[in-house]
Amino acid sequence: MNVKPLNLWLAYPDDLLDEGVADACRALLSEEELARAARFKFDRNRRESIATRALARTALSHEHPLPPEAWRYVLNAHGKPSIDPELASGSGLSFNMSNALGMVVCLVASGGEVGVDVEPLSRAEQILRVAPEVFSAAERAQLELLHGAEKLDRAVSLWTLKESYIKARGMGLAIPLDKFAFVFGGAEQVRLEVDESLNDREDRWQFCLLDHAGHRIAVMAERRAGYELKVWEAHPIPEPALRVSALTAEWFPRQSS
């Protein structure tokens, strides 16, 4: 099988507490991105916004010889950004971003749609409280069979997987959250089940979960080819990123032998 690169980039908004780092990140952003960040009331949210977009530009320039500040995006009807087709023509690059106060991530692929989500593990209790609104009946039924730490862990996994799926589809919350499910168990270990109304196929997607620095990250990618996931840490963003070799991805669904 033809193996294609899939690069996951991680960065930390609190690195921007250093004004030199913050200035270097701001210098990469467009006027629209700077204005968007400025609209946030709290400094922590401004840092998160700036870090997310500076990381995406840095990650894309790692894949294609274009300066980080030169990237331009277009938005689909649901607000998902993609590379302006006038740039990097023929590169086949796609990307997706996600952010939390403690970590921001960007996933870049060569060929195929991708989605990514990051959440602090500490949010598990909050996620459980909204389970009836965000999880499908099948997901809730499995969740109710679990207890303690295992139940909290499952809640974070479900949340991040569901977010990564709707982001990969490029439709966000236009996709009803109860119309698809991530079911745990069996030979595949974790599988995606999609209602026919969503006009999608389960076998279109492959996904994995990673934990790093107190956060869970879900990666979703079209199953067009085998993927070699590489994880990079920009700490801080303006400096050359380092490969996080200790993180390895276990992809789902597994193929039964």
Tens digit of pLDDT for each residue in 20-49? 999 999 999 999 999 999 999 999 999 999
* Same-domain pairing of 89 and 196: no
Residue 188, in any domain of the structure? yes
At residue 69 the predicted structure's pLDDT band, cuts being 50, 70 and 90, is very high
138 and 195, same domain (yes or no): yes
153: nearest Cα among 186, 128, 116? 128
Reported confidence tier of residue 255, pLDDT bands at 50, 70, 90: low
Residue 64 belongs to a domain:
yes
Same-domain status, 79 and 143: no
Do residues 106 and 150 both lie within one domain?
no
Q: What is the pTM of this model?
A: 0.95
pLDDT for 166-183, tens place per residue? Answer: 999 999 889 999 999 999
Query: Which residues, in sequence order, are bridge partners of residue 244?
Result: none
Residues 107, 214, single domain; the answer is: no
* Judgement on whether residues 244 and 230 belong to the same structural domain of the protein: yes
Q: What is the CATH number of the domain that holds 96?
A: 3.90.470.20
Residue 25 and residue 147 share a domain: no
Helix (H) or strand (E) holding 234: strand 226-234
User: What pLDDT, on the 0 to 100 scale, is given for residue 226?
Assistant: 65
Domain span at residue 67 reads 1-112+226-250
Which of 78, 168, 155, 193 minimizes the C-alpha distance to 116? 168
* pLDDT bracket for residue 254 (50, 70, 90): confident
Specify whether 195 is located in the same domain as 126: yes
Per-residue buried b or exposed e for 157-170, using 16+ beta carbons within 10 Å of the residue's own CB:
bbbbbbbbbbbbbb
Please check whether residues 119 and 218 belong to one and the same domain. Answer: yes
What is the distance between the alpha carbons of residues 103 and 214, in angstroms, rounded to a whole number?
Answer: 9
Whether residues 107 and 137 fall in one domain:
no
**Confidence tier at 236 by pLDDT (50, 70, 90):** very high
Q: What is the pLDDT of residues 95-124, one digit of tens each?
A: 999 999 899 999 999 888 999 999 999 999
User: Does residue 125 sit in the same domain as residue 208?
Assistant: yes
**Tokens 């977009």 -> residue:** 53
C-alpha distances out from residue 91 to 57, 66, 111, 224, 236, Å: 15, 12, 8, 16, 27
- DSSP 8-state assignment for residue 69: G
| Predicted confidence (pLDDT) at residue 225 exceeds the cutoff of 60 | no
pLDDT in tens, 183-220: 999 888 999 999 999 999 999 999 999 999 999 999 99
Residues 105, 129: one domain?
A: no
Residue 32 lies in a domain: yes
